Structure 1
Amino acid sequence: MKLKSLIIAALALGQAVLCANSELHGIYKLVARQLPQFADKFEFALVSPTSASSNDSYTISSKAGKDTVIISGTTVNSLARGFYHYVGQCGSVSISWTESTIDTLGSLPKLCGAGHGSLDGAAVVPWRYYFNTVTFGYTTAFYSWADWEHLLDWAAMHGINMPLAWVGYEQVLIDVFEEFGFSQAQIVSFLSGPAFQPWNRFGNIQGSWNGSLPLDWPRRQMQLQQKIVKRMVELGMTPVLPSFTGFVPNAITELYPNATVINSSTWSGFPVIYTNVTFLEPLDPLFTKLQVAVIQRQQTYYGNVTHHYTLDQYNENSPFSGDVGYLKNVSLGTIESLRAADPDAVWVMQGWLFFSDASFWTDERIQAYLSGPEIGQLLILDLFSEGSPQWQRTNSYYGHDWIWCELHDFGGNQGLEGNLPTLTKGFTSAMANSSSLVGVGLTMEGQEGNQIVYDILLDQAWSSSSLNIRRYTKEFFKARYGPMTVPADVIECWHDLVTLVYMNNASSVVNVVPKSIYELAPNINGLLNITGHHPTKAFYDFSSLVDIWKKLVGAVAASPTMLQHPHVHYDLVDITRQVLANQFLDLYVDFMHFYNATNPSASTSSEIIDHARPLLDVLRTADRVLYTDVNFLLGSWIARARALADGNDTIADYYEFEARNQITLWGPTGQINNYASKQWGGLVGSYYLPQWEMFVETLAVQRNVSAFNPATFLHTVLLPFGIQWQWEKWGQTENQTWGVQGDLLPILVELVQTF
């Protein structure tokens, strides 16, 4: 931001502080951050609801004869939503996960919409929830305060009023465990590294396969959480804070030999040293003592800011017993522990367990487990409502409050996919058929694109009827690419793309974000037509996407200044990335057809290598394209991690290992290999390309289909390469830059000629 803008923002903020009462400080500060040049042109007011509904609402109007916008709302969060409604619809600007163009407005927009007298909005549900526990690993693990400021502004302006707030939990645990007699060594051996803490919190894993967690990390993260929670409250949000889940260091059996503990399940093939986490039963009085200590410690750090607490005991962990009496007592003990600490506590539970372990969680067992808390004491996130909803088979969770959630993205996958009709109609149908539905939520594991798929659900929370997708698409991209006038042919391209990939009519086969096969371990089979949570199966015509992409490239080539817009640049990189991923799949099929249809032993090694050359060239091109945008860089991910070490090279190296391991091997020896893979500049070139080169070289040497052994190739070639790669340091070679390389447009113009 330019110095002049900062000065204007400071003056506006000073005026806001003088004029507004303390409740409104947060919204005035948001406007000063996002639209500093016009921050003094807004007046905000909190008003009582004017209808029978107590849900959030707002009205936007202008002061007669004055260049002032007046926004009144029932909550601070509704004021933030109203502000974004105004600048987005009337000013054609937007904020995304990566960028904000709101401060590019050259003049204060005139009121728009029906009648131009006022704009208004009213939420149809009380809660708009945000985050999956594992988003704090796949996306925000290494976020700085600047990153969080941007994300929380995005959330507030999109009407989110219930965000999950996990950051800094480990410092709370350290304090409490020390209070209860655990040594520092016992505690540190239990805690996992920064990139894997969500699964430690779930009780899936324990410890770190990269040495012990530096104690500087939890302390700094707690300090960051203090800022995060304060900002959430300023923006009218209700944070969902952590609680004591029951997972403890195994030294508890030495300190408290009479404690009732069990070992949780082995998770994802991890060695025992890193899994089978010790679980203190909620029926044990010690559980309540620890719960009270954890919540009181949080209140000391963050204030008395919420009554909502996240607590998941059986995320991909099976209970000790399936006896319905036992299950009821576990949940009863859990809610009683929360209420011992906070008499108004509400237990927030991710409902993933009922889907992921459906063979255990029969309807009878679910009902028993949910019968411990009384109605009003439990809030359940129906985590995968758009793909595998559980609310119907559980009769709306037997009357408990629940939230309709969109999961969609596993591990931070990046393929283009969505089903907008399912999101809009699925939610409105649920509203009509469930009296205990109280909100919508975004619960993606990682947020890596497909922005329209998430924004539309948050906007649907403010409409009782299903949104018109064609109209929504037009308005979405007018704002996303504004405030410039967006060419009609660009909007039409997006209508075509939405029809092709975001109205997925093959959702019974693919209903989540796909993964490119080049992110998987190279193999002669098993890579195609994968379904499930990491699908590779094609669900649309690849050539149709190429046609749309060519038109978009043509539009930008005709008006190159469009690429200066960050969202235009991002989207063109993203679509080009997908075009190349699709091309790689087609070329892989051709290469495997050549290798299998002919007699490889009759071919020379050079012929096999020559036939694979186009396949490998696609990866080189993809790396070049991705390197042109800061949001698609391995260097950005690693730089964030290393920056949190505050200049300590040893700790920075530890964080870099964490960052590298998560997106590749995910475990000491590839336990969840490539689960969180990414199509990033630098990662494609330094990690995937060498693996595919080794694959081609192996086939060329063996020249016999039956001689290729996938397990042998994985363990003798790929795994040693991956282990070595994760210990490297970024920036050691000339081509490993921290920032972007090259210009996108010349690459696109050249690339289009090859299709």
Structure 2
Amino acid sequence: MAFWTWEEWETQLDWLALHGVNLPLAWVGQEKILVDVFQEIGLTDAEIATFLSGPAFQAWNRFGNIQGSWGGDLPRSWIDQQFALQKKILPRMVELGMTPVLPSFTGFVPMNTTRVLPDAQIVRGSQWAGFPLQYSNDSFLEPFDDHFAKLQSSFIRKHRAAYGNISHIYTLDQYNENSPYSGDLDYLRNVTLNTWKSLKQADPDAIWMMQGWLFYAQSAFWTEERIEAFLSGVEDNNDMLILDLFSESAPQWRRTRSYYGKPWLWCQVHDYGGSMGLYGQLTNITVNATQARDESPSMVGYGSTMEGQEGNEIIYTALLDQAWSTTPLDTERYFHDWITARYSGCGSMPKELYEAWEGLRTTVYDNTNTSVTSVIKSAYEIRPSLENIRVGFQSTELSYDPTVVVHAWQKLYEAASSEAKLWTNPAYQHDMVDVTRQVMANAFIHLYQSLISSWNISDADSLSKTGKALVDFLGDLDTVLLTNGNFRLSSWIKLARSWAEGDDDQASFLEYNARNQITLWGPNGEIADYASKQWSGLISSFYIPRWRIFIKYLKSTPPASYNSTEITGQLINFELKWQSETWDEPEPSADAEDLEKVLNGVCSRWATVFGRR
């Protein structure tokens, strides 16, 4: 959502309303309020600039993970534009019957705050994700410092003056993947007690919403004793609302005894970094979510807390529809009805459509109680190495038989043979590209393994042929993705640059931000490929060149001489150069006929991949 305009937001708000969402997060534009608060206490623009992060990284800045902006400072024009956008978003939320969850003052402040508040009790947060001190270890104003309540009141007062008295629910997370200054039980209680008091002083009706993610992400620190002490600081349970953020894979409500009576929401993360693989946990979001509702008297709702929403729409709608049922959804019937609605208007409904999705329902979309806890990434998106097939966090190892997806692809393709109007149906076009993408992403694993095997046995001829096949395969995948605007790098970059309004320097900064998030994710690749995307343009300009560098290195380096530091250095040099380039390729003029033609060509070249002989 980083670069969304009102057009994207308007569609999203309609989608939320149509699915019964009544408590949407409303962060947009909060930097304007924060800047005004900081300026009021005497901080300069330059000092504030050391704190605010670029547009593609503001979520982590708001959580205190990072500070500052690499590649240039956050433009004041961006801050003002987002503020204006929020003035459209909030009224529409209210108009549609929603209660916005508003930002509040968290305590994170610019590094030079002690210049204007010399007596302030400020501590440095912990390092995050290997970022250097310049961009991490955020300065944190302790909530029991008198300045905290004053800044909180200032923030909420300014917010209300700008947007009106539209909500009393505030998002506030202080230790998201950060360690508290102390583990002392009294200290932890005092943090929440005084934070709560600051909110109630600013708004007597305030309700504090926080994520329960910290209790999972830093479980070694957050013992049950510390969690109980921390939550006890909010003395009225009804003044807090906790998101059990990863309920489908790592629920925390059980070990915290339903958060010691605090109201909480059963939430589904599903997707880290906006990864694009087909994936879901149907049993967990239907059966397990219903069981929690029956067992925990303080569970008050359901939440969708994904990091990316493109693709896998049926999983997001299933959870939101489950919220309206006291019993687990009948997923077979649910898929049938969802498919009927999704492809409506195309004429007849070929049985193959239902057959395709039924195969996915019981396999790809029912990853229940496995070690794979979120959307699976493709091995080709990961920086090339000898270990691109990995398990655990952001796994690239499949948790299902890949022939299931091939069968689904065949059925989807056959459906258009029965009903040609499908080729002009936007939902079908999207899904045909998406499933093709998954078939090819899965097939890449075999090409990668063949490449490494050829190198291990020093078969130069096989290595050369496999390397060429791997690059050609990715080139064909890029061509498939190019047929649909939802799968293009150019769409992402174009949206980012659109905010510059003719300012070339700002356009370059915004494009750098957009490029960096989906590749290096940090000035030097601190969490490289975390938010990688399977997009046309990104494959051709970024992934294929990386694989070419890697293949060239393997050709010139026998197994006994392999040096991971050397090849990684070569790859990083390329990645760093790519960050500052400008996308100048013309937008393709693809239409529905192109997709059918492209698919026929790709299938003829890779017949075995698509189950053809």
- Tell me by how many angstroms 1:608 deviates: 2.2
| Match for residue 574 of structure 2 among 704, 721, 737 | 721
Which residue is 2:283 aligned to? 421
- Tell me by how many angstroms 1:691 deviates: 0.4
Superposed, 1:110-259 pairs within 5 Å as 140-259=1-120
Report if aligned partners of 1:609, 1:697 keep a CA contact under 8 Å in 2: no
Which residue is 1:476 aligned to? 338
Query: 1:749 and 2:600 equivalent?
Result: yes
| Match for residue 541 of structure 1 among 401, 404, 421 | 401
Report if aligned partners of 2:69, 2:135 keep a CA contact under 8 Å in 1: yes
Report if aligned partners of 1:328, 1:369 keep a CA contact under 8 Å in 2: yes
Report if aligned partners of 2:53, 2:67 keep a CA contact under 8 Å in 1: yes
Query: 1:497 and 2:360 equivalent?
Result: yes
Which residue is 1:487 aligned to? 350
CA distance 1:723–1:424, change in 2 (3 Å): same
Equivalents in 2 of 1:743, 1:302: separation in Å? 47
Aligned length: 603
Equivalents in 2 of 1:250, 1:548: separation in Å? 54
Which residue is 2:325 aligned to? 463
Equivalents in 2 of 1:256, 1:726: separation in Å? 38
Matched letter for residue 276 of structure 2: Q
Equivalents in 2 of 1:341, 1:582: separation in Å? 53
Matched letter for residue 396 of structure 2: T
Equivalents in 2 of 1:737, 1:730: separation in Å? 10
SS in 2 for 1:729: coil
Matched letter for residue 336 of structure 1: K
Which residue is 2:223 aligned to? 362
Which residue is 1:653 aligned to? 508
TM-score (norm 2): 0.97
| Match for residue 710 of structure 1 among 564, 568, 576 | 564
Report which of the two structures shows the higher radius of gyration computed on alpha carbons.
Answer: 1
Report if aligned partners of 1:663, 1:677 keep a CA contact under 8 Å in 2: yes
Query: 1:676 and 2:526 equivalent?
Result: no
SS in 2 for 1:162: coil
Equivalents in 2 of 1:567, 1:161: separation in Å? 26
Q: Deviation per CA, 1:653-682, whole angstroms, max 9, x where unpaired? A: 110000000000011110010000000010
CA distance 1:739–1:662, change in 2 (3 Å): farther
- Tell me by how many angstroms 1:311 deviates: 0.3
Report if aligned partners of 1:522, 1:691 keep a CA contact under 8 Å in 2: yes
- Tell me by how many angstroms 1:706 deviates: 2.5
- Tell me by how many angstroms 1:547 deviates: 2.0
Equivalents in 2 of 1:699, 1:594: separation in Å? 10
- Tell me by how many angstroms 1:749 deviates: 2.1
**Identity rate, percent:** 49
Equivalents in 2 of 1:493, 1:582: separation in Å? 17
| Unmatched tracts of structure 1, length 5 or more | 1-139
Q: Deviation per CA, 1:15-54, whole angstroms, max 9, x where unpaired? A: xxxxxxxxxxxxxxxxxxxxxxxxxxxxxxxxxxxxxxxx
Q: Deviation per CA, 1:161-202, whole angstroms, max 9, x where unpaired? A: 000000001100111111111111111221111111111111
| Match for residue 666 of structure 1 among 508, 521, 524 | 521
SS in 1 for 2:123: strand
Report if aligned partners of 2:497, 2:507 keep a CA contact under 8 Å in 1: yes
- Tell me by how many angstroms 1:712 deviates: 1.8
Q: Deviation per CA, 1:52-77, whole angstroms, max 9, x where unpaired? A: xxxxxxxxxxxxxxxxxxxxxxxxxx
Equivalents in 2 of 1:706, 1:411: separation in Å? 36
Q: Which moved more, 1:745-754 or 1:474-483?
A: 745-754
Equivalents in 1 of 2:146, 2:226: separation in Å? 24
TM-score (norm 1): 0.79
Equivalents in 1 of 2:603, 2:531: separation in Å? 30
Query: 1:623 and 2:478 equivalent?
Result: yes
Equivalents in 1 of 2:144, 2:194: separation in Å? 5
- Tell me by how many angstroms 1:621 deviates: 1.0
- Tell me by how many angstroms 1:483 deviates: 2.9
Report if aligned partners of 2:423, 2:429 keep a CA contact under 8 Å in 1: yes
| Unmatched tracts of structure 2, length 5 or more | 609-613
- Tell me by how many angstroms 1:739 deviates: 6.0
Equivalents in 1 of 2:225, 2:510: separation in Å? 44
Which residue is 1:64 aligned to? none
Matched letter for residue 447 of structure 1: Q
Report if aligned partners of 2:143, 2:191 keep a CA contact under 8 Å in 1: yes
SS in 1 for 2:249: coil
Query: 1:315 and 2:176 equivalent?
Result: yes
Report if aligned partners of 2:490, 2:587 keep a CA contact under 8 Å in 1: yes
Superposed, 1:10-25 pairs within 5 Å as none
Q: Deviation per CA, 1:227-257, whole angstroms, max 9, x where unpaired? A: 1001000000000000000000111111111
CA distance 1:740–1:216, change in 2 (3 Å): farther
SS in 2 for 1:714: helix
Report if aligned partners of 1:583, 1:618 keep a CA contact under 8 Å in 2: no
Superposed, 1:564-643 pairs within 5 Å as 564-596=424-456, 598=457, 600=458, 603-604=459-460, 607-643=462-498
- Tell me by how many angstroms 1:649 deviates: 1.4
- Tell me by how many angstroms 1:607 deviates: 4.6
Which residue is 1:123 aligned to? none
- Tell me by how many angstroms 1:213 deviates: 1.0
